[in-house]
A and B are shown apart, each in its own frame.
Chain A
Amino acid sequence: MHHIIIGNGVAGITAALTIRERDRSAQITLISGESDYFFSRTALMYAFMDRMSLRDLEPLERKVYDAQKFNRIRAWVTNLDATTRTLTLDTGQTIQYDALLLATGSRPNQLTVPGAAAVKAGLVNFVTLQDLESLEKWTKLGGKAAVTGGGLIGIELVECLTHHGMQVDFFVREPWYWPAALDKEEAAIVTGHIRHHGVNVYLEESVAEIKSDTAGKLTGITSTSGKQYPLDLLGVSIGVHPAIEWLTQVKTPPATKRGILTNPAFLTSLPQVWAAGDCAEIELAQGKPLVEQIWYSAKRQGELAAKSMLGDSIAYQPPIFYNSSKFFEIEFTTVGQPNAPGSETFFHPFAGAEASIRITWRDSAVTAFNMLGSRWNHEFFERWITERRAPQYVIDHLAEAQFDGEFCTLPLAEAQSNFNQSRSPR
C-alpha cells in the first residue's frame, strides 16, 4: 500500500504516525511545498521573536522520519487524477497512490479593499514560513505597523511587532476584541493589557483603503473612520479559509463547498481520497457541515482519518469545544459554547489581577467556561458539562480544576463568596 499525504502539518503528520503505528510495511509519502519537516505553526511567533530557532519548532527529531520510513517530498502538487490515482508535482514528477490524504490546511483571508491589489510589498500574513520571511523583511525598529483583524493570529502578530520595537496600531472591526470567544468584560481586560504594552487599539475600525508607491511598496492606509495612517508594514489576520484553490486546477477535483467535502469517515467524493484538518468540511451525521480550524481539531482529525484509511469504521463526532490562547502574558482557556441564547452567566474579575472566571449555564446545567489569566484543567469542565452539573456544584468544586502552579493559585474563595451572594435571595 502506498499512502500519500499532501501537507505535513499537524493533521498530515499525525495521520502518517497513526498509519505507521498500525502498518509497519506500508509505504508512506509526505508531500509539502512549505517545509521539509513538520513544524509547529502555533510557535511561529516565538521564532519571529527569537525565543526559538526555526529548528526548535520541529516537534519530531529529524531522525524520526528515517526511523518511521517516511518519504518526504518538497514540492507543490499541481494535478490530481483520481482515475489513474496519480499526482503530478510542480517538479514535473508523477507519483501514484493507493490511498491519498488531503491535509493542505488553511490559507489566510486577504483584504479586498481599494488599493489592495496594487500592493506588492509590505502587506503580510502570519500563517506560513514564507509569511515569516516576508514579515522579517519589513519589520524594523522604530517603524510603524498596523495589524487588522481581532483574533488570535492578530494579537500574536501585534505582540511580535511590539517586541521588535515597532509602533503598532491594532484595528478590530468588532465592538470589542474577539467577540467570537470573549465577552465584553474579558475583552476589556485584554484590551487594557494590550494598550499597556504601548499598542494603539482601535475598536470598530478597519482598513478602508491601502496606499502604495509606484513600486508597489505599501505606504499607509486609510481607516474606515477616514483617518490616514502612514505605515511600513500592514499585517492582515482576518481569518483563514480551507486551502482548496489549487483543486480548481486539477483533472479530478473532489467536491468542495467551504472546504473539501467529506463524509463522517473523512472520505471525499473521490475514491481512495480522504481529507482532514483545516481543509476539510465534514458532513456530519447530524447538524451543519463542520469546518474546524484549530490545532487540536487538526490533530484529532488526522488520527481518525488515518484510521479510516486503514479500514476502521469512523463516524466523526467533534467533542465539546475547547481552546486555549495567550494574549501577551494573559492566558485563556475556553470550554463549551458561550453566548448560547437563553443562558445565564456568572462573571468574576479578580481584584488586582488581570484574571477572571466566567461560568455559563442554561436550564441550571453548566454549558461553558471562559477563564482568563489563570490555568485550568479543561477535562474537569468537559466532564461537568457532560454531566449537566448545576452552577452551585461547579462553584463548590472549582478548586479541583485549578491548574495554577505551586504558590500561584488564584484566590477562588473570593469568587465563590461573590457567587453565593449573587444567588442568595434578597
Chain B
Amino acid sequence: MIRQTTYDRFAHDITNRGISAWLLAALLTSFYLVLYFTEGLTPVAKAIGLDSKWTLYGLIYTIAVVAGGIFVIRRYRHNKYQVVRTCVVMFVQSILAFALPQFLKAIHQPEYYFSYFWPLKLDYLTPNTIFHYPLPIILYSFAGSLILVPILGAFFGKRWYCSWVCGCGGLANTAGEPFRHLSDKSTTAWKFERASIYTVLGICITLTALLFTTYAIGPKHPDLAAFTYKFQSFYGLIVGTMLSGVVGVGLYPLGGTRVWCRNFCPMAALLGLVQKVGRYRITVKKNMCISCGMCSKYCEMGIDVRSYAQSNQSFTRASCVGCGLCAEVCPRGVLKLENVSAKAPQQRLVQITSHRSEMNHSSLR
C-alpha cells in the first residue's frame, strides 16, 4: 500500500514504471541522443565556461554521483559498509574520473582517467590509442588492466571495481539507487544476461586481438586495417554509445540501474569469471531465511538471492557486484558478503555450495 502523501504517490509512480518513470526514461534517453549525436550541448558548455560538451557531461555526471551519494549515505547511515563504499565511489568519480583528468588537460597533459581499464575502456589497452600516451601511463594502463584488475578480483570479487570504483556502477549506486529494484529477476532474464554479456566479451576480445594484429602487420595489409578500424568504430557506436550510455542510463526508470553492467559490460563479464574462481562469496546462514524476498527485490543485478537463501546455499554468482544491499535489507541477517579464506572460522560450519549447475529455482531446501 502506497503511503497516502503526494510525495509518496509520486515516488511510487516514478520508481514503479508509472507515467512519470516513462517520461524520465524518455528524457534521459533524449539527453544521451543529443549528447552523442548532436552538438546541441556545446553552446551550453561554452556558456558556463567549459571547453566541451564532454566536460559538461562529466560535470553533470559527477554532480549526480555526489548528490545521489549523499542521499544513499543518509539512507544507509547505520551500515558502515554502505557508508564507506559510497564515500569511495564519490571520491573516485569526483577526483579520479573528473577533477584529475581536467587538471591534466589544463596543464597540457593527456586527459587520462585512472579509474578506467580495458576491457571497459577498449582504448586503454589497444596499441593504436594507448601508445599515444606517455610511458608511465602506458605502464599503468597495461598493469592495471592485465594484473591489478584480475588480482583484486580474485581476492575481493568484482565488487572492488563494479561497486567501489567504476563510474557506471557509481551512478547506479548513487543517483540510481531508487530504481535498483526494477531489475528483472526471472530465469529468462538470467539466460539472456549470460548469452549477451559473454557475446560482448567475445567481440571485445576479438576486436582487441584484431587491433594488435593490425598494429603489427596492418601497414602491409590495408584491407585488414580498414576492416579493423571500421569494426572498432562500429563497436564504439553500439557498445560504447548505445548500450552503455543510451540504454544503460536511459533505461534506469524502466529496467533498473544495471542494465548495461548486467547484460553488456565486457569488464563485468571478465571480472565475473575471475569472481567465480576467486574468494568472494555470499554466505548464507543456515535455516534462518524466511523467504520474504527483500534480498531478491533489491538486487540490482536481478539475482534471485532468495532462491539461494531459502535453500541454505552459500553462493558466488558471476554477475554479483557486491553492493551489499541484499545483506542490508535482509530482516533476519541471513546474508553476509565475504572474502573467504580457508582459515575463516565460519568455514568450519558453513557448507559451501559454490554454484548450482542448473537454473533450478524450485527448491526451498
CB within 8 Å for A329 and B78 given contacts A13-B364, A42-B290: yes
Task: Establish whether residues B333 and A333, one from each chain, have CB atoms under 8 Å apart when the complex forms.
Answer: yes
CB < 8 Å neighbour of A43 from B2, B186, B290, B363: B290
Query: Of all chain A residues, which has the CB nearest B1?
Result: A136
Q: How far is the CA of A300 from the CA of B312 in the complex (A)?
A: 13
CB < 8 Å neighbour of A377 from B79, B285, B306: B285
Shortest distance between the CB of A23 and any CB in chain B (Å): 15
Task: Establish whether residues A139 and B1, one from each chain, have CB atoms under 8 Å apart when the complex forms.
Answer: yes
Stretch of B51-59, B132-140, B141-149, B324-332 contacting A (4+ beta carbons < 8 Å): B324-332
A380 interfacial contact with B, CB 8 Å: yes
Stretch of A191-199, A203-211, A260-268, A405-413 contacting B (4+ beta carbons < 8 Å): A405-413
Q: How far is the CA of A47 from the CA of B294 in the complex (A)?
A: 10
CB < 8 Å neighbour of A408 from B81, B187, B294, B365: B81
Inter-chain contacts of B357 with A (CB < 8 A): none
Task: Establish whether residues B4 and A165, one from each chain, have CB atoms under 8 Å apart when the complex forms.
Answer: yes
Task: Establish whether residues A407 and B293, one from each chain, have CB atoms under 8 Å apart when the complex forms.
Answer: no
CB within 8 Å for A17 and B297 given contacts A164-B4, A377-B349: no
Inter-chain contacts of B30 with A (CB < 8 A): none
Task: Establish whether residues A42 and B291, one from each chain, have CB atoms under 8 Å apart when the complex forms.
Answer: yes
B38 interfacial contact with A, CB 8 Å: no
Shortest distance between the CB of A276 and any CB in chain B (Å): 14
The interface centre, meaning the residue of A17, A43, A331 with most chain B CB atoms within 10 A of its CB, is: A43
Q: How far is the CA of A400 from the CA of B324 in the complex (A)?
A: 21
Inter-chain contacts of A324 with B (CB < 8 A): 288, 290, 332-333
Q: How far is the CA of A149 from the CA of B287 in the complex (A)?
A: 27
A255 interfacial contact with B, CB 8 Å: no
Query: Of all chain A residues, which has the CB nearest B288?
Result: A324
Inter-chain contacts of A43 with B (CB < 8 A): 290-294
Shortest distance between the CB of B284 and any CB in chain A (Å): 10
Shortest distance between the CB of B345 and any CB in chain A (Å): 4
Shortest distance between the CB of B77 and any CB in chain A (Å): 11
Binary B-proximity of A62-81 (CB < 8 A = 1, otherwise 0): 00100110000000000000
Q: How far is the CA of A10 from the CA of B297 in the complex (A)?
A: 20
Inter-chain contacts of B81 with A (CB < 8 A): 405-408
Binary B-proximity of A51-63 (CB < 8 A = 1, otherwise 0): 1100011111100
Inter-chain contacts of B80 with A (CB < 8 A): 405, 407-408
Inter-chain contacts of A98 with B (CB < 8 A): none
Task: Establish whether residues A400 and B345, one from each chain, have CB atoms under 8 Å apart when the complex forms.
Answer: yes
Inter-chain contacts of B340 with A (CB < 8 A): none
Task: Establish whether residues A295 and B290, one from each chain, have CB atoms under 8 Å apart when the complex forms.
Answer: yes
Binary B-proximity of A389-422 (CB < 8 A = 1, otherwise 0): 0000000000110010111100000000000000
Inter-chain contacts of A325 with B (CB < 8 A): 332
CB < 8 Å neighbour of B1 from A13, A64, A164, A380: A164
Shortest distance between the CB of B336 and any CB in chain A (Å): 6
A50 interfacial contact with B, CB 8 Å: yes
A14 interfacial contact with B, CB 8 Å: yes
Inter-chain contacts of B338 with A (CB < 8 A): 406
Instruction: For chain A, give the interface size range.
Output: 35 or more
Q: How far is the CA of A36 from the CA of B2 in the complex (A)?
A: 23
Inter-chain contacts of A348 with B (CB < 8 A): none
Task: Establish whether residues A40 and B362, one from each chain, have CB atoms under 8 Å apart when the complex forms.
Answer: no
Query: Of all chain B residues, which has the CB nearest A303?
Result: B365
B84 interfacial contact with A, CB 8 Å: yes
Task: Establish whether residues B291 and A59, one from each chain, have CB atoms under 8 Å apart when the complex forms.
Answer: yes
B337 interfacial contact with A, CB 8 Å: yes
A22 interfacial contact with B, CB 8 Å: no
Chain B residue total in the interface (Cβ 8 A): 48
Q: How far is the CA of A378 from the CA of B297 in the complex (A)?
A: 25
A375 interfacial contact with B, CB 8 Å: yes
Task: Establish whether residues A379 and B286, one from each chain, have CB atoms under 8 Å apart when the complex forms.
Answer: yes
Task: Establish whether residues B187 and A164, one from each chain, have CB atoms under 8 Å apart when the complex forms.
Answer: no
Q: How far is the CA of A60 from the CA of B364 in the complex (A)?
A: 9
The interface centre, meaning the residue of A13, A67, A300, A405 with most chain B CB atoms within 10 A of its CB, is: A405
The interface centre, meaning the residue of A18, A163, A295 with most chain B CB atoms within 10 A of its CB, is: A295
Task: Establish whether residues B292 and A40, one from each chain, have CB atoms under 8 Å apart when the complex forms.
Answer: yes
Q: How far is the CA of A139 from the CA of B336 in the complex (A)?
A: 36
Interface residues of A in 112-167 (CB under 8 A from B): 136, 139-141, 163-165
Query: Of all chain B residues, which has the CB nearest A299?
Result: B364
Query: Of all chain A residues, which has the CB nearest B287?
Result: A296
Interface residues of B in 161-220 (CB under 8 A from A): 186-187
CB < 8 Å neighbour of B364 from A59, A140, A407: A59
Binary A-proximity of B296-338 (CB < 8 A = 1, otherwise 0): 1100000010110010000000000000100110011100111
CB within 8 Å for A379 and B285 given contacts A43-B291, A46-B294, A136-B1: yes
Task: Establish whether residues A17 and B333, one from each chain, have CB atoms under 8 Å apart when the complex forms.
Answer: no
Inter-chain contacts of A295 with B (CB < 8 A): 290-291
B361 interfacial contact with A, CB 8 Å: yes
A251 interfacial contact with B, CB 8 Å: no
Inter-chain contacts of B292 with A (CB < 8 A): 40, 42-43, 46, 52, 57
Query: Of all chain B residues, which has the CB nearest A333?
Result: B333
A184 interfacial contact with B, CB 8 Å: no
The interface centre, meaning the residue of B1, B306, B327, B363 with most chain A CB atoms within 10 A of its CB, is: B1
Q: How far is the CA of A67 from the CA of B359 in the complex (A)?
A: 13
Inter-chain contacts of B310 with A (CB < 8 A): 59
Shortest distance between the CB of A335 and any CB in chain B (Å): 11
Q: How far is the CA of A62 from the CA of B122 in the complex (A)?
A: 41
Inter-chain contacts of B5 with A (CB < 8 A): 141, 165
Inter-chain contacts of A322 with B (CB < 8 A): 288
Shortest distance between the CB of A66 and any CB in chain B (Å): 11
A48 interfacial contact with B, CB 8 Å: yes
Query: Of all chain B residues, which has the CB nearest A142?
Result: B4
Q: How far is the CA of A14 from the CA of B291 in the complex (A)?
A: 12
CB < 8 Å neighbour of A140 from B4, B294, B362, B365: B4
A2 interfacial contact with B, CB 8 Å: no
The interface centre, meaning the residue of B4, B296, B337 with most chain A CB atoms within 10 A of its CB, is: B4
* A-B pairs with lowest CB-CB distance, top 6: A43-B292, A375-B333, A407-B80, A400-B345, A42-B290, A59-B291
Known: A379-B350, A380-B349. 4 other contacts (CB 8 A): A56-B296, A164-B4, A299-B287, A324-B333
- 29 A-B Cβ contacts within 8 A? A10-B364, A42-B291, A42-B292, A43-B291, A43-B293, A50-B1, A51-B294, A52-B292, A52-B293, A52-B297, A56-B293, A56-B296, A56-B297, A64-B361, A64-B362, A67-B362, A136-B1, A141-B3, A141-B4, A165-B3, A324-B332, A325-B332, A331-B331, A331-B333, A403-B333, A405-B79, A406-B337, A407-B80, A407-B83
Q: Which residues of B contact A (CB under 8 A)?
A: 1-5, 8, 12, 78-81, 83-84, 186-187, 285-288, 290-294, 296-297, 304, 306-307, 310, 324, 327-328, 331-333, 336-338, 345-346, 349-350, 361-365
